[in-house]
Structure 1
Amino acid sequence: MGVNISKGFLLVLVGLFAYLSLLLVLPFSQYVLGAILIAYVLYPLQQRLEERVAPPIAAFALVGLAVAGFVVPLVVIVAAIASDARRLLEQVNTDSIQLGELERAIEEQTGQTVDLPSALADAAQNVGTMVLESSTEWFSAITHTLIGLGLAIFLLYYLLKDGSDLLTWMRELTPLPDDVQDDFYQELDEVMWAVLAGHVMIAIIQGTLAGLGLLATGVPNAAFWTAIMIILSLIPLIGSFMVWGPAVIYLFLIEEPLLAVALFVYSMIVVGLSDDYLRPILVDRYAELNPAVIILGVLGGVYAFGVMGLFYGPVVLGALIAVLDVMNDHYDRLADEPGMR
């Protein structure tokens, strides 16, 4: 009885501290998941670099590479969007707004005398008050983002530096035979790379190709819409058409039929057929996931995990399939040999 009580007490402690640890992680879950994802992608490079340099040096170099690979594209995109916004504002000629004529037109139509400068001043004051009241929330959001990014960088460094020790600890803690663990980790690795190569990488390539079409045909804010198309390309059956389709209509409406036809043909051929050529190259060497698993994982993952659910949603469903496959292959033997490794 004493042994059972001791085991029960240990299980209660494990559950308690696991719950408290979850509370600590949840506020920064997006950054933690992002660090795990980047560490998984860079870990093969970490192993190769460790053959030549010490693990801390290799990890530090890869963290610098990851930061540069994230920050530089982000700065370029933000600069492009800001440039588009600046050009749009420059097109607005405020001198052409004749408030006096507008006031007379309103008075003729409604019989009411309107003081537009005063109304605009009051509206500006109200907007300023709202901005001032929400400044605390903005400051809090920016602070949380900066802390989260710093946490992600530190986690990425230690995941890379101590990755082998972490994997060894997980294998020792898991009460499964080594060959069963090997099968599970191999199938999980195939699922992860299938999502990365056949899901994320293809979405980035397709969204970028579609964005080049928008840029070449002069569609405004091409950089912003490229980012949107990359996100939409993560969802099967939707894809970048939700952006370049309306862009074709926009070009027709501004009387640019040649550009509209060119964008349509380019998007249908280059963007539309890229999936047929890229998927066999990038996916055939990994586990293939059914489109239904992808779309359910993406949509459900966004609700469950936020932005990182775009990747982790399909991985969770793929991991379930991997577990079921491993169980189907080894369950009978495990039932005959309980607790054996």
Structure 2
Amino acid sequence: MTPCPTRQLPRPAYDHERLRAAGARVVAVEAAAVAALGERIDERFAQACELLLDCRGRVVVTGMGKSGHIAGKIAATLASTGTPAFFVHPGEAGHGDLGMITGQDVVLALSHSGDSAEILTILPMLKRLGIPLVAMSGNPLSPLARQADVSLDTRIDEEACPLGLAPTSSTTVALVLGDALAVALLEARGFSREDFAFSHPSGSLGRRLLIRVRDIMHAGDGIPAVRELAPIREAVLEMTAKQLGMTAVVDEQGKLRGIFTDGDLRRQLEHGIDIHATPIQAVMTRDCATVGPERLAAETVRIMQARRISALLVVNEEHDLIGALNMHDLLRAGVV
């Protein structure tokens, strides 16, 4: 079979000045479109926010083509900022995925023209279920806009595409309006940095705001510890076995009395101390830095950096030794 020939466009000569000018023009056109959108953040915007805030289910975001790509991003932004949301492809909705939408949901539909056939096809079913509809359309008189409970105006004067065909300014305006909705809802809900972290446990912010000392500390038999009267040699063996670069020194009741580190050992060896006969209490560091198990791991990093130490002991409110950690533990947890 003879392959279908592909049209080969001539390779243009590269003119850097023209390329820069084209890029700058696109930015200017889209910036103007966004600026004009700002003047249309009106009472209808507030009404749309109320519908979304009152939603007892989820916000179902839908759109076709390039609007669908924007709709997917808006759904993701809403979901990560405290408004449960997901994207449904309007074409698939007409073939079974409409069952994903319940009577407790709110639908946010995007269509620049306002007459996307795939979206209009499912509107009667949404109306029958009594599902509120928020539209984002560039045509306030379109079928989608007229059937919506609240219609948000995303019209533009021109696309940045010089042919006036490729969605550029229109998709940018829709994306910005979606961000505006998400942030307005975030503020209305009192959504906090900690709430955001729970939605992003794998991100750096999530690790900084969620991981606590108790999550990464060595506990039980993993804690390096010796009694006060133990010789330095026993402390060295304990440090070697537990590999945290230090050991805690405790009394008979398990209360923390001090710490002995690799650095302390080197300094004592330079002074020729007898590690077999000298008790650890004679050379340990008293009043050592400690943290509680509920302290954020990120705060622990700042403590260690401020004190220029690489390990910390963990104690409870009664000053019982319950854990230990070092900088390597914090590195492995992704906090540093």
TM-score range, shorter chain: under 0.3
Bigger relative contact order, structure 1 or 2, given CA contacts below 8 A and separation 6+? 1
Q: Under a length normalisation based on structure 2, what TM-score does the superposition of the two structures give?
A: 0.20
* Larger strand percent: 2
* Larger helix percent: 1
Q: Under a length normalisation based on structure 1, what TM-score does the superposition of the two structures give?
A: 0.19
Which of these two proteins has the greater Rg computed from alpha carbons? Answer: 2
